Amino acid sequence: QFLGSTEVEQPKGTEVVRDAVRKLKFARHIKKSEGQKTPKVELQISIYGVKILDPKTKEVQHNCQLHRISFCADDKTDKRIFTFICKDSESNKHLCYVFDSEKCAEEITLTIGQAFDLAYRKFLESGGKDVETRKQIAGLQKRIQELETENAELKNKVQDLENQLRITQVHASPAGSVTPKSPSTDIFDMVPFSPISPQSSTPTRNGTQLPPVPSRSTEIKRDLFGAEPFDPFSCGAGDFPPDIQSKLDEMQEGFKMGLTLEGTVFCLDPLDSRC
């Protein structure tokens, strides 16, 4: 049974291990009172380290490399308990792993000690090359895991982009279709008047029909006294005296050039020189 692991301040020492065992035993009692069972694990001990696996799925829960294990001991007061201290590779903290075994706690401790002896002998035989090779292999394995994780994330992103592209193509208009161009309108949603293009009967966007342009009547309208309306620009040259006609011609020429008149008094009396 795996009681768990806890951080310790020192990489070795009997008192350090005893404090960790007391702490994890107390945590196990609390879990039992809450109805939780202590998980069972399987150990694989070799010259490369100690692996803690799930007994059913064989999944590696912890991989403690042998060169990181700094202390290993069994509890002399409780023959069921054995521990070892290992330095974590990521946080560089010292963790004490505590186990409860009914019959082989002392044997497991001795086996870990034998693994240390075999690893040291192999180190002397290879001149340290084997250790460097294992470090390189461990680094390459870690890099492979990082690349596999990154590859899986990139695949998910590509799949999301493909789904968005399909949705965009579905909502897009069919190829070859030409959308009729609607006439531009002003702020009142009316079609602007163009003096070049003739008036058409096409309704504007607000649904109303343009009113027909009233035709200019050739009939001469008269006021309520029966007199014809005065229009200086439509009168003939012989309708006024020569001086009045010259004034009107000048006024008409001035209006064409953009002349504006403000507050000027006009008089049609030919005898007044101010006109």
Span 48-70, pLDDT tens digits: 889 999 999 999 999 998 889 99
Residue 6 shares a structural domain with residue 119: yes
Examine residue 142 and state whether it is found in any structural domain, yes or no.
yes
Examine residue 150 and state whether it is found in any structural domain, yes or no.
yes
Percent of the chain with pLDDT over 90: 21
Q: Is the pLDDT of residue 1 over 70?
A: yes
Examine residue 273 and state whether it is found in any structural domain, yes or no.
no
Domain boundary, last residue among 106, 126, 146: 126
Domain boundary, last residue among 116, 138, 166: 166
Q: Is the pLDDT of residue 216 over 80?
A: no
Which of 70-79, 82-91, 170-179, 245-254 comes out lowest in average pLDDT?
170-179
* HEC assignment per residue over the chain: CEEEEEEECCCCCHHHHHHHHHHHHHHHHHHHHCCCCCCCCEEEEECCEEEEECCCCCCEEEEEEHHHEEEEEECCCCCCEEEEEEECCCCCCEEEEEEECCCCHHHHHHHHHHHHHHHHHHHHHHCCHHHHHHHHHHHHHHHHHHHHHHHHHHHHHHHHHHHHHHHHHHHCCCCCCCCCCCCCCCCCCCCCCCCCCCCCCCCCCCCCCCCCCCCCCCCCCCCCCCCCCCCCCCCCHHHCCHHHHHHHHHHHHHHHCCCCCCCCCCCCCCCCCCC
Question: pLDDT value at position 167?
Answer: 85
Question: pLDDT value at position 200?
Answer: 46
Residue 37 shares a structural domain with residue 47: yes
Question: pLDDT value at position 265?
Answer: 47
User: How far apart are the C-alpha atoms of 157 and 152, rounded to whole Å?
Assistant: 9
Number of domains the chain contains: 2
Most confident of 99-108, 179-188, 234-243: 99-108
Question: pLDDT value at position 239?
Answer: 52
Domain of residue 11, CATH code: 2.30.29.30
Q: Is the pLDDT of residue 165 over 90?
A: no
Question: pLDDT value at position 190?
Answer: 60
**pLDDT tens by residue, 145-163:** 888 888 888 989 998 888 8
Residue 49 shares a structural domain with residue 26: yes
Q: Average pLDDT over the chain, rounded to whole? A: 75
Question: pLDDT value at position 62?
Answer: 92
Confidence band, pLDDT 50/70/90 cuts, at residue 26 = very high
Examine residue 41 and state whether it is found in any structural domain, yes or no.
yes
Examine residue 34 and state whether it is found in any structural domain, yes or no.
yes
Of 174 and 251, the one with more pLDDT = 251
Question: pLDDT value at position 136?
Answer: 74
Examine residue 17 and state whether it is found in any structural domain, yes or no.
yes
* Segments forming the whole domain that contains residue 48: 2-126
